[in-house]
Amino acid sequence: MDPEVLEDERTSKRQTRYGAAILKDPSDPYYALLKEFSDVVNDDPPSVLPPVRGVRHEIDLVPGTKYCTTRQWPLPKEQVDVIDAFFAAKLAAGMVRESKSPHSSPTFFVRKPNGKWRMVHAFNTLNAATIPASTPIPRKDVLQNNMAGCTIFSALDMVDGYYQS
């Protein structure tokens, strides 16, 4: 198994101008501010899960829904090897643990244009039984416009965010 296959693509044409990427562009309006606080801007995700803090995320399901389970469908050996290597690496790094969820969804990988793999979870059944959040997530441009004139702000960089809690 090629370890390069599992690495994130850090230099994408679609890369946004947030986080560590801003530190490479002195013409960016946020460059000076992030340079000043560069000690808190991190290129890499945490290497271990954070301690349990007593707060767990729960998905609100449509009343009457018991469990949303979909069996894993057969995969080509190449994908099985990639999945096994991916989770073995994350388990060894302490970034995943065995799930206690009664729900299950198929997992598979698709090739990205750069030849590496992207993990996909088919949450169709779970999504169909989920009550939509009543508070929509605001758009980036709206948030930036609302920050005009502000002197203190923070952001969450969701690099490898799926494995953070």
Return the pLDDT at 78.
92
Mark out the alpha helices in 56-119 (DSSP H runs).
77-92
**Is 108 within 8 Å of 75 (Cβ atoms)?**
yes
Q: Say if residue 74's pLDDT is above 80.
A: yes
Domains in the chain (CATH in brackets) are 3-159 (3.10.10.10)
Which of 36-40, 73-77, 85-89, 145-149 holds the top average pLDDT? Answer: 73-77
Return the pLDDT at 80.
94
Residue 1: which pLDDT band, with cuts at 50, 70 and 90?
very low
CA quadruple 50, 14, 141, 145: dihedral sign? positive
Q: How far apart are alpha carbons 126 and 147 in whole angstroms?
A: 35
Return the pLDDT at 135.
79
For residue range 78-107, what is the model confidence (pLDDT) as tens digits?
999 999 998 898 888 887 888 888 889 999
